Amino acid sequence: AVGRHEAPGTLLAMGYAEPVAKSAVRMTFREPLAPEQINQIAAAVEESCTSLCAASTVHDASINVQAQLFMSNNG
């Protein structure tokens, strides 16, 4: 939920580490999406994340490792 700083219990129960779970973005849609719509959204999110990482002034290697681990498990 907006303003919450705890990791979502659902993601923790799925085995995600707390830092990864706390960085999750939840999206809700009114109607089910077609596979091509899901792929378009995933591509846009991935492109945005790549751009943000490239522009980031944070140089914490653990963030990149967590992101790479997530993408390899869910990509």
Position 75 pLDDT exceeds 60: no
Q: What is the pLDDT of residues 41-60, one digit of tens each?
A: 999 999 998 888 777 766 66
Q: Can you give the residue ranges of every domain in the chain? A: 9-74
Decide if 63 contacts 54 (C-beta within 8 A).
no
2 has pLDDT over 80? no
| Range 33-42, long-range pairs (CB < 8 A, 24+ positions) | none
Is 18 within 8 Å of 12 (Cβ atoms)?
yes
pTM of the model: 0.54
Tokens of 44: 């846009």
- Per-residue confidence band for 65, with pLDDT thresholds at 50, 70 and 90: low
DSSP label of 15 = T
Is it the case that residue 68 has pLDDT exceeding 70?
A: no
